[in-house]
Structure 1
Amino acid sequence: MESATSWSNPLPLSSLPSPSHSRHPSAFKFMAFSTLHTFSLPSLSSPSSFHPFPLSSLSPKPTSFNPRPLFPRTMHASRIQDAVGGALALVQSSPATWQSALLSNALIFFLGSPILVSGLSLSGIGAAFLLGTLTWRAFGPSGFFLVATYFVIGTAATKVKMAQKVAQGVAEKKRGRRGPGSVIGSSAAGCICAFLTIFGVGGEAFSRLWRLGFVASFCTKLSDTVSSEIGKAYGKTTYLVTTFKVVPRGTEGAVSVEGTLAGILASIVLAFVSFLIGEVGSHEAIICVLAAQIANLGESIIGAALQEKEGFKWVGS
C-alpha cells in the first residue's frame, strides 16, 4: 500500500533542479558553442556548397565539333546529275540535230577507241568521225548502228589470216588499218544519200528512196570487202571474171567460190540488220542484197578489164 501511494504521488516539478539553479551554468554555454562551431551550416550565398562535388566537375566539357561541308558536295553531285541528264536528253532528241550527232559520236568514239584503232589509222578515225556525225544527223541512231555493224564485220574479215596475206603480198596496206581515202571511198554513195535526206531533196516522196540507197551502198561495200578478204584467205581457186582464167589470189577482177559465198552472206546479214532496226522493209532488204551482188559483179568486170591498162590502175583500189 505504501508503494502504491508513492507512485500515485510523484515528486512535484518544483522539486526538480532547473538549469537556472545549476551550480555550473557556464558548462551548458560551452557545450552549445562547441556544437555550433563543429557543425557549421552551409552558406546560402554559395550554391556550390550544397553539393559534395564541385559543379565544375558535373558540367559537360566543350568538345570540338566540325561538321563536314555536306552542302557543297551535294550541290556538286546535283550539277553532275543535271549535266548527265541534259546530255542524255540531247542524245535521244528526235529528230536528230547536229548537236546530238556530235555529242553521240564523241561519246561512242571515245568508248570504242580500242576497236577503232585496230581497223583505222588516226586520219581514218577522223574521217570516220565525220561520216558518223553525218549519218547520225541524217538517219539517227539506227543509221549509225548500221554503219558501225558494217565497220565491225569488215574489219573482222580483213584481219582473217593476216599473217598469210602478208606473206603472200595480198594484205591491205598497214595490216588492214584503212586511211581516210578508204573511208571516204567506201561511204561516198551513202554520204550523198545522207546529204539528200538532210536537205529534204524531193520531199517525203524521195526520203524513203534516199534511205534505201544508203543501206544498199553499205551492203554493197561490205559484200565487196568480205568476198575479197575471205577469197584471199580461203579461196582455193580464183578466176578472172571476164575470161574465167585461173589467176593468183589477190588479182584485181578475180573471184572465188568461197569469197563469193561469203560476200553474199555478208550482204544478207547487213540487210537483215537494217530490217530489224527499221531502216528498210522486207522487200527493200531483198533489193539491197540483189543490188550489192550486181554492183560487185560490175566492179569486178571493170577491174579485170581496165586495171592493168595505163591510167586505170586506180580502179578497184
Structure 2
Amino acid sequence: MALSTTHLLLHIKPPRIPSLFQSQSHRVSSSSLPILRTKFLIPTHPRHSNPPKQTMNRPPAASVQSAASQAMSLIQSSPPTWQSSVLSNLLIFLLGSPILVSGLSASGIGAAFLLGTLTWRAFGSSGFLLVAAYFVLGTAVTKVRMKQKEAEGVAEKRKGRRGPGSVIGSSAAGCVCAFLSILGVGGSGYSRLWQLGFVASFCTKLSDTVSSEMGKAYGKTTYLVTTLKVVPRGTEGAMSVEGTFAGLLAAILLAFVGCAMGEVSAPEALICVIASQIANLGESIIGAALQDKEGFRWLNNDAVNVINISMGSILAVLMRQVLLQNWSM
C-alpha cells in the first residue's frame, strides 16, 4: 500500500497578523510566509546491472608478434616464392638504405630492387648475398680517391652513384640466368649451369669495376690494349698492372664468396675467375677498337658492360661443359 511505504508530514506555521499601526512600507519577511515542509519516504529498489562485457580483442603486442612471426616464416620459405622475395627485399632495402643511397640514384635503387627480387626468387638468400657483396665492394672502390678522379675528369658521374642504366648493364646476364632458372629451362640438369652463369657474370663485372677504378686511382702507367701505347688513365680500353691485379683479386674474392655460400663448387669458382679475366680482356679490346668511334656511338659504357658480363657468363658455362663434364660437381 502507498500509505504503508510513504509518510507525508505536513507542517504549517500560521503567519503573524500585522498590526494595524504598522507602516505600509513594512515588508513581510520570508520567514513570515507559510512554509510547507514535506518529507517523502520513497522506497528504493536494487538496480539490476548487467555484468561488464569482456572484450575478446587480442592485446596489441600479441598481434604484432604474430604478424612478425608470419613474416619471418614467409621470408624463410623454401623454395623462395615471389611473396617472400618481395618481402625480403623490402626489409633489406629499408635497413640498408644509407648504403644504397650512397651508391645508387633514386631510379637506380628501383632497378636494384627489381634485380634483388628476381635474384632472391631464383637463387634464394645466398644469391642475393652474392649480389650484395658485389654492390658493396663495387661502390667502395668507386669512392677511392674520388677527388683525384674528378680533377682528372675520369670519375663516375654523380660522385659514383649509379643509375638504372648501369644497374641493368651490370646485371643483364645475371637476370637472364635467373629467369632461365625460375622457368626451369633444360630441367634440373641445367639449373646448375644457370647458377654458374649467374655467379660468373658478377665476378666478371666486379673484376672490371675494380680494375678500372683502382687503375684510375693508382695506375702509374696505362697501356692501350690494342697497341700497347701509353695513354692517360681513364682512357677507354686502357689497362694498368695495378688495376689488372686488383681486378683479379676481386674476382677471386667474389668467387670464394659464391663457393662458401654453396652457389658454385670449388672447380666452378676457378672457372668463374678464368672466364672473368678473359671477358675483361675482350671488353678492353672492344673499348679500344670500337667505343666512341664513328658508327659505334651507341656503344656506350652500359652496352659494353652487357657484352662483357655476357661473355663471362657464356664462357663459364662452356668451360664447365667442356672441361668438367666428367667431374663430380
1:172 corresponds to: 156
1:1-317 correspondence runs (5 A): 75-315=59-299, 317=301
8 Å CA contact 2:200–2:273 kept in 1: the answer is: yes
Cα deviation for residue 316 of structure 1 reads 5.4
| Structure index of larger Rg | 1
* RMSD, aligned CA: 1.4
Return the offset for 1:308: 3.6
Letter in 2 for 1:202: G
Which segments of 5 or more consecutive residues in structure 1 lack a partner in the other structure? 1-68
Cα deviation 1:16-72 (Å, max 9, x = unaligned): xxxxxxxxxxxxxxxxxxxxxxxxxxxxxxxxxxxxxxxxxxxxxxxxxxxxx9986
Q: Distance in 2 between matches of 1:107 and 1:308?
A: 41
After TM superposition, give the deviation of residue 75 of structure 1 in Å: 1.6
- How many angstroms does 1:239 deviate by? 0.2
CA drift at 1:307: 1.6
Q: Cα offset for 1:276? A: 0.3
Q: Is the 8 A contact 2:222 2:233 kept in 1?
A: yes
Q: What CA distance in whole angstroms lies between the structure 2 residues aligned with 1:120 and 1:308? A: 25
Which amino acid is 2:136 matched to? V
Q: Distance in 2 between matches of 1:296 and 1:115?
A: 27
Deviation of residue 267 (structure 1)? 0.3
Deviation at 1:310, TM superposition (A): 1.1
Q: Which runs of 4+ in 1 moved over 3 A?
A: 69-72, 313-316
CA contact (8 A) 2:292 2:299 kept: no
1:60 matched residue in structure 2 = none
Report if the CA contact (8 A) 2:138-2:209 is conserved. yes
SS of aligned partner of 1:81: helix
Count of residues in Structure 1 that have an aligned counterpart in Structure 2:
248
Higher relative contact order, chain-length normalized (CA < 8 Å, sep 6+): 2
Secondary structure of residue in 2 paired with 1:310: coil
Structure 2: 5+ residue runs without aligned partners? 1-53, 302-329
Shift of 1:312: 1.7
TM-superposition CA deviations, 1:168-195 (whole Å, max 9, x none): 0000011100000000000000000000
Query: TM-score, normalised on structure 2?
Result: 0.74
Which residue of structure 1 aligns with residue 305 of structure 2?
none
Contact persistence 1:228–1:259 (CA under 8 A): yes
**1:146-168 deviations in whole A, cap 9, x for unaligned?**
00000000000100000000000
**TM-score, scaled relative to structure 1:** 0.77
Identical counterparts, % of pairs: 75
